[in-house]
Structures are given as C-alpha cells and as structure tokens.
Amino acid sequence: MADSRSLTTRWQPIAALGLVAAGMGLLIAITVSSTELRITDQRLAARMAQLTRLLPSDSYDNSLHQDRLAIRAPGQFQNDLPVTAYRARLNGEVVSIIFSLTTPDGYNGNIDLLIAIHADGHLQAVRVTRHQETPGLGDRVELEKSDWVQQFSGLATSVFTHKDWQLRKHGGQFDQLTGATITATAVLGAVERTTGFFHSRRQWLLEAPSDNLQTP
C-alpha cells in the first residue's frame, strides 16, 4: 500500500507538467493555425509593396511574386544564401528582373537589397530594404534619408569594369557617402555582382521556367 501511494505521489508532478505542456501546445497550435492565413497575406503584401515601388506600374502586367526564380549560384554572390529573382512581364515577355539579395559586407551586418534590371541590361532601381547601419551616416542608403541610391537608376552597366564599380575617391564612377565608405562599398559590391550575374546569365534568366531552386 505504502509503495503504490508513494508511486502516485512521484508521478503526480510529472503528469502535471505533461498536462501543462500539452495544454500550452494546444493553445499555440490553435493560434498558429488561426493566424496562418493572415500572416502569409501580410508577408506577401509587404513583399509586393516593396517590389512594386521599384518599377513603373504600367511597365508590366503580371503579378511579380508569382514569376520568380530561386537562384543558387555558388561563387557568384558573396554568400550561399539563395538569391531570388522576380520577373516582370508585359504581354508574356520579360521586361525587368528584380533581384532580392543580402550582402554581409555592411558596417554593421547584413544589408538586404532589391535591384531592378531591365531586360536590355540597364539598371532601373536599387533599394535597401533592411539594414542596421549607423543612423545619420550609413542609413543614408535608404531612399527616405538621401537620394544616394538614385545614382544607379538608368546606368548601362554592361560596359562597366571592376574599376568603374568603385567610389569616385577610389577612381570609380560613384558618389561617396560621407562617413559611410564601408556601407557604400557594400552596396556597390552587391550591385556589381548582381549586374555581372545578369549579363553572364541573361538568356537563362529570361527563359528559365519559374520557381524552384535552380542552378544556372
């Protein structure tokens, strides 16, 4: 009798812990399943809002997030994080490609970028979507803070050499960002690599079937 009694006492806390964990698990499961749809929508809407700001709205007629390529190209970009390319089409023809990528070279960690390149090879727009650069210095890569990123718009980059992709003070083509040379160089490097990738894989980028992780 004494044995079974102490056994019950010993099992009680374990059962209680299990019940609490199961109850909390159930609550979380309910929350996750009931918010899933809305969260997916929110993420998509936020992505779309960023993408549509890069291109004139009358230049394409498809929904950007549906025609995308997840590119895995080791050695082409600084890291092996997949780069996503969103393709804008007009009457079925690809008119622009927006690359979404991350460069680890920022002064304070990763910088997320969107780079829009026209099918004919000229740069349409460069936007920094996420960064942790110094407020007041490096954060001027945001369009809201300064028009530094505007200098990329309209550049025909196929003739650019590595030397052109430097800041003016290093003999290149681009305005500096006072007090934020590392940030500016990180953005330049990312744009250089992306346009280089575009020019070397143009045909594939225009013609590959959409979605799935692909290796050009």
Minimum distance between the CB of residue 10 and other proteins, rounded to whole angstroms? 9
Q: For residue 144, how many C-alpha atoms fall within 13 Å in the half-sphere facing its CB?
A: 7
Minimum distance between the CB of residue 183 and other proteins, rounded to whole angstroms? 15
* Cα 211 to Cα 83: distance, rounded to the nearest angstrom: 12
**Helix, strand or coil, per DSSP, at residue 109:** strand
Is residue 156 at the binding interface for other proteins, with CB under 8 A as the rule?
no
Cβ atoms within 10 Å of 2's Cβ, excluding its own: 6
> In the set 46, 81, 200, 204, which binds other proteins (CB under 8 A)?
46
* Cα 38 to Cα 59: distance, rounded to the nearest angstrom: 29
126 to 155, contacts with other proteins by CB under 8 A? 134-136
**How many residues belong to the site for other proteins (CB under 8 A)?**
23
Is residue 8 at the binding interface for other proteins, with CB under 8 A as the rule?
no
> In the set 6, 25, 147, 170, which binds other proteins (CB under 8 A)?
25
- Binding site residues, other proteins, CB under 8 A: 12-14, 16-17, 19-21, 24-25, 27-28, 31-32, 35, 38-39, 42-43, 46, 134-136
